[in-house]
Amino acid sequence: MTGPDRPATGLDVGDVVTVEVGPVAHGGHCVARHGDHGQVLFVRHALPGEQVRALVTELGPGGRFVRADAVEVLEASPDRVTPPCPYAGPGRCGGCDWQHATPAAQRDLKAAVVTEQLVRLGGLTPAQVEALRVRCEPVPGDTEGLGWRTRVEVAVERRGDGSTVTGLRRHRSHEVVPVDRCLIAHASVDATGVLGGPPPPAPVVALDVVAPSVGEPVVVPLVAPRRIRGAARRGARHTPVPSGPVPEVTERVGEHRFTLSARGFWQVHPGAAATFTAQVMAWLDPQAGERALDLYAGVGLFAVPLAEAVGSTGSVLAVEADREAAEAAARHLAERPWAQAVAEPTERALDRLVAQGERADVVVLDPPRSGAGPAVVAAVAALRPRAVVYVACDPAALARDLRAAREHGLELVGLRVLDAFPMTHHVECLALLRPHA
């Protein structure tokens, strides 16, 4: 390859180089350097301290870095194990990042990533992070990191030779790897027979498989949006949509039941919702008569126990931009008239509350992977809460928002890092913020 993306060291896609593997980085890979210029490689399927032969798979913009796979391990880490799944490894299924490490080592890697993000993006000092005692904890409901994923999208690829392949996608690719069993999938997902069974008829391009905590699993066929089906056949990227009505599923957390669309958002690890709720309630410790705000509320996972805690002399406002989820939250709160759910973008709802001079005693922030953003953080601080719990599925977004929170008088005083996505690089963080003393 020639041009602006070719690295100055001359590395190109397909090259194989020997490198010493450095620290873990956010995204399921480790950092290595090659050549006199110290060309950065982000190497998957490696572990810190190893020496590997790395196959270059992709060039980063401007040649600033390259992506690579460790295709041969010359000196192995003591934390390395044989991946339990035969589909895990270079060039295979992209669903898992760390199957080649022990579960304990995986959690150590995730804790290291969170620590690095808090320092580099969050502006905390190493001493401040050390005081938080960052460690990644397992979540009840899996078996050594396997059998936990209750929601799986199975891909369907119709190939030029007329064959149809059902399975999971390669890393950073739309190519489908035939898979007859996914080891991180919940047993109920595998029991549907979608993986390894006969492929669905056209025009189905994917299958959403959902194993709720109440009732039987459901399978939702997905098709390309009608307006781009022709383009999809030519290989264009698209977001599949349901081929018909989507059934509802029921999830149970303690004594509470939540009914939602099978395609609606819910935590995929069977122990996550209960674990997160218990920590949110313990940290906020909502009292009778207090005003609670649940932002990015989904179907009301946190709003319902908050409403019970503050009682009829208090109030709860659940804000959720997705109308279907907000309507579900309203149904779940219906027996508690002092709590309400609104279908509105979070930033707009906060602007209104701040303009009206409102206050909130406790706040839950559970934003999407991109984070809440500085405007939302500033507005939350303007409501002068005594405590905020931020539920984050991306440590980089969390770190950026924590920096903004500190600028507006909210200090990080507690942190839990939870391994709600074993075998993958994803991790969930719960952060407790309080006003500066």
| Residues assigned a catalytic role | 393
- Rounded to whole angstroms, the Cα distance separating 410 from 431 reads 11
Q: Could you give the CA distance from residue 381 to residue 117 in angstroms, rounded to a whole number?
A: 22
- Mark residue 164 as left, alpha or beta (left: phi above 0; alpha: psi -120 to 50; beta: remaining): beta
- Work out the number of other CB atoms within 10 angstroms of the CB of residue 359: 13
Is 267 annotated as a binding-site member?
Answer: yes
CA 391/CA 238 separation, integer angstroms? 29
How many CA atoms within 13 Å lie on the side-chain side of 45?
26
* Dist. CA 346–CA 325, nearest whole Å: 14
The amino acid present at 252, given as its one-letter code, is R
Residue 320 is labelled as binding a ligand = yes
**419 known ligand binder:** no
296 is an annotated ligand-binding site residue: yes
CA dihedral (158, 163, 169, 173) in degrees, to 10, reads: -60
Binding residues for S-adenosyl-L-methionine: 267, 296, 320, 366
